[in-house]
Amino acid sequence: MKRLLIVLLMILSLVTLIGCIKTNESDENPLFNNGLAPIKTKEGYVYINNKFKVALNDNYLTASKFYKGTAVVETLEGYFVIDEKGNKLSDNYQILTRYESIDSIIYAKSNNEYGLLDLNGKVIFTTNEYQLHDVLDELILGSSSTGYGALNKKGEVVIDFKYNPFNEFSHSAVYLTDKSNEYHYVIDTKGNILFKKSFDEMDIDNLRIIDQTKYIIFYEDKNTYINNLGEPILPVGHILTGYANNTLIVTDLTATLPISYLADLDGNILNEEAFAQSLSLSPSFVIGHDYINNSVQIFDYNGNKLYPEKVRTIHDVMHPDYFLVVKYESGKFSHYYYHIDGTLIYHLNDVTHAGRIIEDSITKELYLTIPVDSQYSSYVTYKIKGKSLIIATDILKTPIEIISNLFIYYDALNQIKIRDLKNGENFLTLETILNYQLYDDGYLVVEGKATSVIDIKNNNKIYTF
């Protein structure tokens, strides 16, 4: 198992930089940076300005967003850095990968030369000894003929190149095993060894870093939760069965019947009312299962009840802020849609199939989309207006999301389509929509044979390129 993981991770690390412009960008995601945005056209990528005019028309093969005045583009000659006027600032490279977290660009050349550029394309350091793969904080992860290790931004070795491929890197630390397969290590970005155990002491297939002193280890399909000394954090007979949102699901195997509970990262029970025969995780809540009474209960990640009683079924409705309670009342199923704050959103009597809540990401209006067949292949969508449902669409195939009254869905051929909910008509004239993206500054970009930029702030006005 270890050997397979190592081989797969080696393959992944070798392809990290191949074939694209990769940018490690911030959480903010506007379409326009420095007043320019890359747009894909039939001929290639161009840059438009915020008046929707083409500003740079060199038809690049690929193009990144501008960041602090420069961008990375690709032509048949290779990758290079340009300024806002399209001037070339760097040499041509086989690969360029911009990392905004360190305001730098990793490069690779065909002669096996790697190195680091600043954002203006100026060389910071070069190396023929190390291949550079990725970045963690200010640590540059790489490999050489002697193994895997890491450099700092000056090109100095911080983690010696003597390890197998990086199994995990997060929380300013990396998990490694040495080339001789004798020891497991967790090393921080300063090069300090946080955890070291021999293969004889601890049989580990993989390790997940929870923070710098706590880890989940995986072996033989079992999970164990330990500290950096290798000591178990959970009591004897208690095993880790789930983890999300800094909350543990722990199962006590010493009880007469196994029982699960929620715990913090130190293993402390969060709420004894959240004990259940088993617990399962959703993005924003936890469901407790009572198999003896065939019922469930719902909790938040602190173990607080989101609904006061046990019920027959609780469904995830594909929205993190809502859930569906199903009750069997008077010989029929009743569906109650709730917000996680306990507010009842809508109640439906005598229904069979669980629907889902869709919130318009711009207007924040709520829609309920309900399947009309047992295969969940076709849906009718309603707008929730107070205590009423107003039909928004006729029977359509699988809904995806709603953006500024634009209903985005898959049709019978699994192609993306857009319908305007204001008039019920299809939106855009693109024959095929390949993908779309909503940006933080209020623009929806839809790519097909042409690209359309939809100005949501201006009544969904369309600009096509």
Per cent of the chain over pLDDT 70 is 94
Q: Which of 124, 96, 119, 120 is nearest to 108 (CA)?
A: 96
Is pLDDT above 90 for 455?
yes
**What would the two tokens of residue 404 be?**
């500024």
Q: What is the DSSP string of 185-230?
A: EEEETTS-EEEEEETTT---SEEEEEETTEEEEEETTEEEEEETTS
- The percent of residues above 90 in pLDDT, for the chain, comes to 69
- Best mean pLDDT range from 10-19, 146-155, 387-396: 146-155
How many domains would you assign to the chain? 1
Whole-angstrom Cα distance, residue 357 to residue 317? 6
| For residues 213-240, average pLDDT | 91
In order, the DSSP letters of 115-153 are EEEETTS-EEEEESS-EEEEEETTEEEEEETTEEEEE-T
Let me know if residue 251 belongs to a domain. Answer: no
Can you give the three-state secondary structure of 243-271, one letter per residue?
A: EECCEEEEEECCCCCCEEEEECCCCCECC
Residue 384 located in a structural domain: no
Cα angle 463, 56, 90 (rounded to 5 degrees) comes to 145
d(CA 15, CA 26): 23
Query: 332-358: per-residue pLDDT in tens?
Result: 889 999 999 889 999 988 788 889 999
Instruction: Grade residue 8 by pLDDT with cuts at 50, 70 and 90.
Output: very low
Give the pLDDT confidence score for residue 26 in this predicted structure. 55
pLDDT-derived band at 22, boundaries 50, 70, 90? low
pLDDT, tens digit, 9 for 90 and up, residues 79-113 = 999 999 999 999 999 999 999 999 999 999 988 89
How many CB atoms within 10 Å of residue 228?
A: 17
Least confident range of 1-5, 67-71, 231-235: 1-5
Q: What gap in Å lies between CA 56 and CA 68, rounded to an integer? A: 17
pLDDT of 11 strictly over 50: no
> Within its chain, how far is the Cα of 291 from the centroid?
33
**CA–CA separation, 147 and 416 (whole Å):** 45
- Tell me the mean pLDDT in the region 276-285: 90
What band does 283 get if pLDDT is binned at 50, 70 and 90? confident
Q: Say if residues 45 and 56 touch (Cβ distance below 8 Å).
A: no
Q: Which two tokens stand for residue 350?
A: 């005598």
Residue given tokens 């009750």 in the structure block:
327
95 domain residue, yes or no: yes
Cα angle 295, 246, 219; round to 5? 85
Give per-residue pLDDT as tens, 167-211: 888 899 999 999 988 999 999 999 999 999 999 998 898 999 999
Q: In the predicted model, is pLDDT for residue 47 greater than 60?
A: yes
pLDDT score at 250: 95
**Which residue range(s) make up the domain with 66?**
31-128
Full-model pTM: 0.83
Q: What is the number of other CB atoms lying within 10 angstroms of the CB of residue 421?
A: 20
Helix, strand, or coil (residue 388): strand
> Does the pLDDT value for residue 20 go beyond 80?
no
10 pLDDT band (50/70/90 cuts)?
very low
CB 406 within 8 A of CB 459: no
pLDDT of 318 reads 86
Backbone angles phi, psi at 456, to 5 degrees: -65, -35
Average pLDDT over residues 36-41: 95
Output the pLDDT for position 3.
Answer: 33
- In this prediction, residue 79 carries a pLDDT of 97
Indicate whether 175 belongs to any domain: no
Assigned domain for 341 exists: no
Q: How far apart are CA 271 and CA 252, in angstroms?
A: 15
- 7 has pLDDT over 70: no
378: nearest Cα among 397, 400, 391: 397
CATH number of the domain that 42 lies in? 2.40.128.630
The answer to whether 64 and 71 are in contact (CB under 8 A) is yes
Q: Are 191 and 229 in contact (CB under 8 A)?
A: no
Bridge partners for 392 per DSSP: none
Output the pLDDT for position 121.
97
Query: Within a domain: residue 449?
Result: no
pLDDT band at 125 (very low <50, low <70, confident <90, very high): very high
Q: Chain-centre distance of CA 309, in angstroms?
A: 33
Residue 23, pLDDT score: 55
Residue at 93 is within a domain = yes
If you average pLDDT over every residue of the chain, what do you get?
Answer: 89
Does residue 24 surpass a pLDDT of 60? no
At CA 117, angle to CA 112 and CA 118, rounded to 5? 175
- Cβ within 8 Å of residue 330, ≥6 positions away: none
Q: Which of 48-57, 122-131, 343-352, 447-456 has the lowest mean pLDDT?
A: 343-352
Over residues 400-414, the pLDDT tens digits come to 999 999 999 998 888
> Is 67 a domain residue?
yes
Give the mean model confidence (pLDDT) for residues 444-457. Answer: 92
Closest-CA residue to 157 (of 140, 174, 170):
140
Residue 224: which residues within 8 A CB-CB, separation 6 or more?
216, 217, 232, 239, 240
| Residue 398 contacts residue 409 (beta carbons within 8 Å) | yes
Residue corresponding to tokens 């915020």? 50
